[in-house]
Amino acid sequence: MEKFATHTGVAAALKRSAVDTDQIIPAVYLKRVTKTGFEDALFANWRQDPDFVLNQPAFAGASILVAGADFGTGSSREHAVWALRDFGFQVVLSPKFADIFRGNAGKQGLVTGVIGEDDLEAIWAAIDAQPGIEMTVDLHERTAVLGELRVAFDIDDYTRWRLLEGLDDIGLTLRNEDKIAQFEARREAWRPRTLPVR
Amino acid sequence: MSTTISDRPRTLAEKVWDDHLVVKGENGEPDLIYIDLHLVHEVTSPQAFDGLRAEGRPVRRLDLTIATEDHNTPTLDIDKPIADLTSRTQIETLRRNAAEFDVRLHSLGDKEQGIVHVVGPQLGLTMPGITVVCGDSHTSTHGAFGAMAFGIGTSEVEHVLATQTLPLKPFKTMAITVEGELKPGVTAKDIILAIIAKIGANGGQGYVLEFRGSAIRSLSMEGRMTMCNMSIEAGARAGMIAPDETTFAYVKDKPHAPQGQDWDDAVAYWRTLPSDEGAVYDAEVFLDAAELEPFVTWGTNPGQGVSLSDVVPDPASFADPNERAAAERALQYMDLRAGTPLKEVPVDAVFMGSCTNSRIEDLRAFASVIEGRQKADNIRVMVVPGSARVRLEAEAEGLDKVFTAFGAEWRFAGCSMCLGMNPDQLAPGERCASTSNRNFEGRQGKGGRTHLVSPLVAAATAVLGRLASPSDLPAVEKVGA
Ligand code: SF4
């Protein structure tokens, strides 16, 4: 997982609240056997509408999603985060996230910043005024800047630290690799081994 | 080391946990636990391997990892391509991943292929005092050896592949003591079904169950595996049984069992594992083995079971409104009427298999009841060995002849009709006496109705075409006797 410090990219306004994981990625895509390559699945139903925000040329390549409250509710599928990430999103800002979605996002390197309702309206207005405008998200400062607008967002200290360090769960465990190696060195000889094949 | 193991009496589960502590979690953080054996199958591994690939990580311990194909495999025409596209993709993906990452894989057609929870023990990889994980809830099976064994999710599969460890919070412990002697015809399956009916399908939530007492010690390893297998149906994380001479005898001389000095060291350690006198459990349950009878489920969760000689319960008899509503729904789905004697319930199919009951001892038990008899008309009977090796063993003993003479289908190894993921499925509305572990709606195929039973009950049911136990059968007239 890459370290996250600051990111600048096109911000897209998803003017809906309670966007559930079934909307983010419909269940039919869960049959796949990969953890990557879900860009086509993101908001698959909505994207059939030519007017959907991500179908607008101004938002091609958007990497910051600014959505209404209660983003990521519904089933706990990790695929929702994969789809956002694969499409190119690095940050989602919303007044409120579903807990499980937030947890999954933090583990996969997707920043979820909580913003105030007033700030949400202000950002949406700024995007409407200038579609395709870029936003700069600073995780150290916990701020999002677009044009004249400067907004503070919340993210818990632990998740922020992991994102700044680029640590997924495995990376976190591997910080103890010396202890794992020490443990392995004193493992008894009788313990099972699948190799060599007898 | 920061870990100090105190002298206070410990349970079996605590001992195994303590001996796998890589890092003790501070301030409410989870402990980092070492995993001795990682079993892999095609359903829950694809994304885990893909995650490794995306991050450029290798499998840390190929020598502690083994994969087999089971859930999607057909049990007929196993040399032909798999027809269902999703199934085929999962299997082919596992094959590609195993080749790319160098993981030992037993594919369809291989003599060690089979249900992952049958393969581990028969290879001698499952042994006392180890930690075992697999992306499959019935990993609890391996606890029969006195191992700490539990199912994990796909992201945890990736975690174990990459680090051979898992961050975990300690589980609570529940002692389930079964004392006394079982009546003839009462088996491990009946004990565990009775336990689940007693504590409820969520009664074990958050616990590691430790089965103990004289009735448990008298069980074979196969019987113990049946019990631990279904711990998960009580909602538990794992089930465990302290290792003893029965355990050692089973493991000894298996292909991967320790040898020579290693064997002696291992047994010496294994003898220290049983819970200490005075060890404290978070909860305790007692059962009298002598009171148990052959058991059968009537509903759509494994806790909805009664003695086979009982009647279908009346939902009104449940005090808890949720249970009453669940019972009403279940009876409707199962098309059963309250008050009907279970022994009068006719079946369309009998499934003898699954990781609960598909080991050689289970097949022998089934064969012992049906030998010299004919299956009932108008029902189908499928006998599916848990692994290719069990199939070979059964054929060497001539059991296959007993099955086919009876009119049963003798299949290749796999999960088969335990779940509707491969071609072996119930048709909508079909009723099945099944030796598997789950009776959820649609588990054995859309609209299928499942009664969970022991191999002995399955066999008697196959003879009479209605739910029955061996004691209901007329004596066989032996030719020439
Ligand atoms: S036999 Fe059934 S319970 Fe066992 S692993 Fe296969 S599908 Fe799961």
What is the Cα–Cα distance from A63 to A15, expressed in whole angstroms?
Answer: 16
Is the Cβ pair B54, A35 closer than 8 Å?
Answer: yes
Whole-structure pTM value: 0.92
Signed CA dihedral, B432, B438, B442, B446: sign only:
negative
State residue B481's pLDDT score: 41
With bands split at pLDDT 50, 70 and 90, how would you rate the model's confidence at B287?
very high
Tell me how close the Cα of B444 comes to any Cα of chain A, in angstroms. 20
Give percent of chain B with pLDDT exceeding 90: 94
State residue A30's pLDDT score: 84
B157 Cα–ligand 1 center, Å: 17
Listed residue (A149, A143, A97) closest to A123, CA to CA: A149
- A34 inside 8 A of chain B by CB: yes
**Chain B nearest-CA residue for A192:** B125
Query: For residues B109 and B66, is the Cβ–Cβ distance under 8 A?
Result: no
What's the mean per-residue pLDDT of chain B?
95
How big is chain B by its Cα radius of gyration, in Å? 22
Chain B residues with CB under 8 Å of A34 CB are 46-47, 50
Counting from 1 in the atom list of ligand 1, the atom nearest the Cα of B137 is 8
Closest CB to A195 among B63, B89, B262: B63
- B104 inside 8 A of chain A by CB: yes
Closest CB to A188 among B23, B90, B265: B265
Is the Cβ pair A35, B255 closer than 8 Å?
Answer: no
Listed residue (B304, B174, B320) closest to B238, CA to CA: B174
With bands split at pLDDT 50, 70 and 90, how would you rate the model's confidence at B478?
low
pLDDT digits (tens, 9 = 90+) for B288-320: 999 999 999 999 999 999 999 999 999 999 999
Q: Given a cut of 50, is residue B402 above it in pLDDT?
A: yes
Is the Cβ pair B162, A198 closer than 8 Å?
Answer: no
Chain A residues with CB under 8 Å of B255 CB are 198
Residues within 8 A of B (CB atoms), A 121-140 only: none
What is the Cα–Cα distance from A38 to A42, expressed in whole angstroms?
Answer: 7
Rounded to an integer, the average pLDDT of B64-82 is 94
Q: Given a cut of 70, is residue B58 above it in pLDDT?
A: yes
**Chain A nearest-CA residue for B38:** A194
State residue B76's pLDDT score: 94
Q: Given a cut of 80, is residue B2 above it in pLDDT?
A: no
**What Cα–Cα distance (Å) separates residue B388 from each residue in B68, B113, B124, B132, B178?**
11, 6, 16, 22, 33
CB neighbour list of residue B303: distance below 8 Å, 6 or more residues apart: B196, B197, B200, B201, B203, B233, B234
**Chain B nearest-CA residue for A176:** B23
The number of residues in chain A equals 198
What is the Cα–Cα distance from B445 to B438, expressed in whole angstroms?
Answer: 12
B224 lines ligand 1 (CB under 6 A): no
State residue B480's pLDDT score: 47
Listed residue (B334, B345, B295) closest to B443, CA to CA: B334
Signed CA dihedral, B45, B47, B49, B55: sign only:
negative
Beta strands B349-352 and B380-383, pairing class = parallel
Tell me how close the Cα of A196 comes to any Cα of chain B, in angstroms. 8
Q: Using 70 as the pLDDT threshold, list the residues of chain A that sit under it.
A: none
Q: Given a cut of 80, is residue B5 above it in pLDDT?
A: no
State residue B29's pLDDT score: 86
pLDDT digits (tens, 9 = 90+) for B126-149: 999 999 999 999 999 999 999 999
B341 Cα–ligand 1 center, Å: 30
Tell me how close the Cα of A113 comes to any Cα of chain B, in angstroms. 24
State residue B421's pLDDT score: 87
Rounded to an integer, the average pLDDT of B190-204 is 95
Counting from 1 in the atom list of ligand 1, the atom nearest the Cα of B358 is 1
Is the Cβ pair A33, B255 closer than 8 Å?
Answer: no
Residues within 8 A of B (CB atoms), A 178-197 only: 179-180, 183-184, 187-195, 197
B204 Cα–ligand 1 center, Å: 20
Closest CB to A173 among B32, B55, B263: B32
State residue B479's pLDDT score: 54
- B164 inside 8 A of chain A by CB: yes
Query: For residues A112 and A138, is the Cβ–Cβ distance under 8 A?
Result: no
- A78 inside 8 A of chain B by CB: yes
Is the Cβ pair B167, A173 closer than 8 Å?
Answer: yes
Chain B residues with CB under 8 Å of A183 CB are 22, 34
Is the Cβ pair B155, A169 closer than 8 Å?
Answer: yes
- B1 inside 8 A of chain A by CB: no
Listed residue (A91, A126, A84, A66) closest to A6, CA to CA: A91
B407 Cα–ligand 1 center, Å: 25
Is the Cβ pair B63, A107 closer than 8 Å?
Answer: no
- B106 inside 8 A of chain A by CB: no
B443 lines ligand 1 (CB under 6 A): no
Is the Cβ pair B32, A169 closer than 8 Å?
Answer: no
- A60 inside 8 A of chain B by CB: no
Q: Output the residue whose Cα is nearest ligand 1's atom 4.
A: B355
Counting from 1 in the atom list of ligand 1, the atom nearest the Cα of B41 is 5
